[in-house]
Amino acid sequence: MYIDEIKKEMKIPEKVLIFDTTLRDGEQTPGVAITPDEKIRIAKRLDRLGVDVIEVGFPAASQGERKAAQQIKSLGLNTQVCGLARVLQEDLDAALDSDVDYIHTFIGTSPLHRKYKLKMDQDEILQKSVQAVEYIKDHGIIAEFSAEDATRTELEFLQKIYSAVEEAGADIINVPDTVGVMLPVSMHKLITDIKKAVKIPISVHCHDDFGLAVANSLSAVEAGAQQVHATINGLGERAGNTSLEEVVMALMINYGIKTNINTELLVGTSELVSRITGVKMPPNKAIVGDNAFAHEAGIHVHGVLQKAETYEPLKPEMVGHTRRIIMGKHTGARAIRSKLDDYGIEMDEDQFCSLYDQVKKLGDKGKMITDADLQALAETVIGRPKEEKVRLEGFTVITGDNVLPTATVKLNIDGQIKTAAKTGVGPVDAAINAIQSLVGETADIELKEYHIEAITGGTNALAEVFVILADNEGNSATGRSTVEDVVMASVEAVLDAINKILIGR
């Protein structure tokens, strides 16, 4: 395949380490704040997920950050516990006080940061960086050094500072694309150039301002980076960071590169982080989104049912997801039949045509039909009597704030058209009263039970109405209907039961 040819030309590593910064850069997502207890829950989950390093926070920021870091460290996780620190003494001491086993220290290096933020020249920045790394190493702790805004820093200075911190004992250097301005091709060149100046492993930290964080991280790996910074769900400053689930799966599936990630835990981890942070994933989010393994179009569903690989680049179980076949306007008969088989629902051809028709009509109105919807629709179709003594010809309801709810119902009863208008406590009650008044001339029928349910929630959900009716001769029948309109579902369910009683007499 094309990709295999390309891979032969790349110098890709066998394994890439994952540095998770959900609890640090991820927490910098606008509007997100994670309590120390929540940090502990997420850290335990990240450890099970298999990340190599967890950046638990910025210890110098607050007492809470330090406490959370200490508590996470005391859990005895398999992963390295890292704290972020500027190259300042007080930050480094705060990180050391948090008992972390890894310090990620950083300083801005670009002309913009030097002039406007730090008001320092290159020499001063280099000297402080070297001192910080030496201080960390004097305490026997792993040191990762980041040149913040590296991707807008002069290459010569970048090579000089990375080489200086390597000499000072840094274990790994990180290349942050702080404002996400890189392209995959420029990232490749930058990492290649930095590699000429240092021998220690190179890490990359990409932001997603142009939606290129994952692509840029992969490009860095192609050029020889051995570690990627990432966050669950791509959380992070502004548009976020490299999404851990996306980059890990791309590394494994597209490049054949190993990581230590237990990929089946990805969806569960994404859901946990989403619940805790309140940041919902869009349904079309790669790997973990609700639609990542959902198929609607008829042709696709047909293909997937024959052989999943036709329209799935990876198995949903691999990432802890499940395949969903969604019914909608593109759904073909084959997919519906296969679903019915799964539920063990049998129906004759006429019933199937009626069900298929309803699915298409709902689809045309833009409705997605879930598994539960389809089962309710199928049950309604199967339960419907074959002949109709009473058929609905038309119906209107009037309801509102200062109006007495009124329903006008037009029925065809044994070939005769009859109309009645009745009031009720609400539109459903009014409609049922109108039906009863019309059918009353043929049979004295009483409503015994009425249940309504919105199948999948939401205001546009299908309403499933279930009724039990009885006549004065002791005959009773159940009626059911599943449509979007609550009043219509009630009318149809009542007529369904009436027909069953009249036919059975």
> Please, what sign has the CA dihedral across residues 152, 154, 157, 158?
positive
> How many angstroms separate the CA atoms of 268 and 286, rounded?
14
CB of 489 to ligand KIV, least distance (A): 54
Residue in 361, 350, 379, 354 with CA at minimum distance from that of residue 485: 361
Q: Which is nearer to Zn ion, 25 or 373 (CB)?
A: 25
Interface map 14-53 toward ligand KIV (x if CB under 6 A) = -----------x----------------------------
Q: Which is nearer to ligand KIV, 149 or 296 (CB)?
A: 149
CB of 74 to Zn ion, least distance (A): 27
- Of 21-29, 33-41, 263-271, 308-316: span binding Zn ion (CB under 5 A): 21-29
CB of 239 to ligand KIV, least distance (A): 12
Q: Which is nearer to ligand KIV, 36 or 176 (CB)?
A: 176
For the record, the structure tokens of 20 come out as 């998770």
CB of 235 to Zn ion, least distance (A): 11
- Of 25-33, 85-93, 322-330, 382-390: span binding Zn ion (CB under 5 A): 25-33
What angle is formed at CA 497 by the lines to CA 495 and CA 501, rounded to 5 degrees? 115
Of 20, 52, 148, 296, the residue at the interface with ligand KIV (CB under 6 A) is 148
> Does residue 205 belong to the site contacting ligand KIV (CB under 6 A)?
yes
Q: Which is nearer to ligand KIV, 148 or 492 (CB)?
A: 148
Of 22, 79, 129, 178, the residue at the interface with ligand KIV (CB under 6 A) is 178
Dihedral (C-alpha) 136, 137, 143, 145: value to the nearest 10 degrees?
70
> How many angstroms separate the CA atoms of 128 and 122, rounded?
10
Q: How far is CA 181 from CA 147, 206, 213, 215, 239, in A?
A: 15, 9, 9, 12, 12
Of 19, 102, 106, 466, the residue at the interface with ligand KIV (CB under 6 A) is 106
> Does residue 471 belong to the site contacting ligand KIV (CB under 6 A)?
no
> Does residue 464 belong to the site contacting ligand KIV (CB under 6 A)?
no
CB of 112 to Zn ion, least distance (A): 16
3-state secondary structure of 348: coil
CB of 234 to ligand KIV, least distance (A): 13
Of 25, 47, 91, 177, the residue at the interface with Zn ion (CB under 5 A) is 25
> How many angstroms separate the CA atoms of 438 and 292, rounded?
51
- Of 23-31, 76-84, 209-217, 287-295: span binding Zn ion (CB under 5 A): 23-31
Residue 106: name its binding partner from Zn ion, ligand KIV, none (Cβ under 5 to 8 Å by kind): ligand KIV
Of 80, 98, 129, 146, the residue at the interface with ligand KIV (CB under 6 A) is 146
Q: Which is nearer to ligand KIV, 146 or 227 (CB)?
A: 146
Q: Which is nearer to Zn ion, 182 or 409 (CB)?
A: 182
Q: Which residues of 175-208 are buried (b: 16+ CB within 10 A; e: fewer)?
A: bbbbbbebebeebbebbeebbebbebbbbbbbbb
Interface map 394-433 toward Zn ion (x if CB under 5 A) = ----------------------------------------
Q: Which is nearer to Zn ion, 30 or 366 (CB)?
A: 30
Tell me which residues in 46-105 interact with ligand KIV (CB under 6 A).
none
What ranges in 440-485 are assigned the alpha helix state H?
none
Q: Which residues of 116-154 are buried (b: 16+ CB within 10 A; e: fewer)?
A: eebebebeebbebbbebbebbbeeebbbbbbbbbbbbbe
What angle is formed at CA 378 by the lines to CA 376 and CA 380, rounded to 5 degrees? 70
Q: How far is CA 270 from CA 243, 263, 277, 348, 425, in A?
A: 10, 11, 10, 43, 47
CB of 150 to ligand KIV, least distance (A): 8
Q: What are phi and psi of 469, to 5 degrees?
A: -120, 150
> Does residue 145 belong to the site contacting ligand KIV (CB under 6 A)?
no
> Does residue 176 belong to the site contacting ligand KIV (CB under 6 A)?
yes
State the DSSP string of 27-73: GGSTT----HHHHHHHHHHHHHHT-SEEEEE-GGG-HHHHHHHHHHH
Interacting residues toward ligand KIV by CB under 6 A:
25, 106, 146, 148, 176, 178, 205, 207
Interacting residues toward Zn ion by CB under 5 A:
25
